[in-house]
């Protein structure tokens, strides 16, 4: 008789993030989940490539929460925006945000959105993590300073890498978005995540969980 390799769904699914945007995205899946804030240093390492930074931080966030959560599935995610290979962080204030938008107008920016699903039911840390990096190519409109300044004063996206909320009014300063996952740019790639969750034995639509491959 074939062996059933399905892993029992844990009692907890945890989003390792304080981001309201990631929380809203995860809620779309209709799965109950908790949130915990990972306490890690998010400073890029010297000489680290943008995709490596995003992947490392996503893993460290998930691992930090998993260390406290026990037998749960923990989601960690991180996003790094780059222009000509240079990392673009969260602006933090209006002046920095305006400088970012001025630098990016008429240009294409690459957003690396890294995802880690950490399975706390697996004792081997080397096998506990599923990793994915979803790239999004964003071209910004070539807009005058007055429009960029007005946008920032209305939406105040100072906690967003790239200084624009594509899910809000920021869509008006973007010319095009190219990605395999439309939710990646907002911060949590749901297509990749649902694939990972299925691999971990999580059921969707009230159906029995598929066997992990």
CB 61 within 8 A of CB 115: no
From residue 147, give the alpha-carbon distance in Å to each of 89, 95, 99, 141. Answer: 22, 14, 13, 11
User: Backbone phi, then psi, for 211, in 5-degree steps?
Assistant: -70, 130
Separation of alpha carbons 9 and 212, rounded Å? 11
CA–CA separation, 119 vs 73, rounded Å? 5
How far, in Å, CA of 88 to CA of 80, rounded? 7
CB of 185 within 8 A of CB of 135?
no
Q: Helix, strand or coil for residue 25?
A: helix
How far, in Å, CA of 211 to CA of 6, rounded?
5
Q: Does 78 qualify as catalytic in the annotation?
A: yes
By C-alpha distance, which of 12, 3, 60, 51 is closest to 35? 12
Among residues 78, 119, 149, 181, the one annotated as catalytic is: 78
Distance CA 62, CA 131 (A): 11
> Which positions are catalytic?
78
């Amino acid at each position: 008789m074939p062996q059933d390799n399905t892993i029992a769904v844990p009692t907890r699914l945890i989003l390792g993030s304080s981001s309201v945007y990631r929380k809203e995205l995860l809620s779309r899946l209709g799965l109950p989940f908790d949130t915990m804030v990972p306490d890690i240093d998010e400073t890029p390492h010297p000489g680290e490539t943008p995709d490596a930074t995003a992947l490392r931080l996503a893993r460290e966030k998930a691992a930090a929460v998993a260390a406290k959560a026990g037998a749960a599935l923990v989601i960690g995610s991180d996003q790094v925006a780059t222009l000509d290979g240079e990392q673009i962080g969260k602006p933090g204030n209006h002046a920095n945000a305006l400088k970012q938008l001025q630098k990016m107008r008429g240009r294409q920016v690459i957003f690396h959105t890294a995802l880690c699903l950490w399975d706390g039911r697996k004792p081997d840390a080397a096998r506990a993590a599923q990793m994915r990096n979803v790239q999004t190519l964003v071209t910004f409109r070539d807009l005058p300073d007055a429009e960029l300044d007005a946008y920032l004063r209305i939406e105040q996206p100072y906690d967003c890498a790239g200084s624009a909320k594509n899910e809000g009014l920021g869509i008006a300063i973007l010319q095009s978005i190219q990605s395999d996952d439309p939710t990646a740019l907002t911060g949590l790639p749901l297509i990749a995540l649902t694939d990972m969750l299925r691999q971990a034995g999580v059921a969707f639509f009230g159906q029995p969980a598929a066997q992990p491959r």
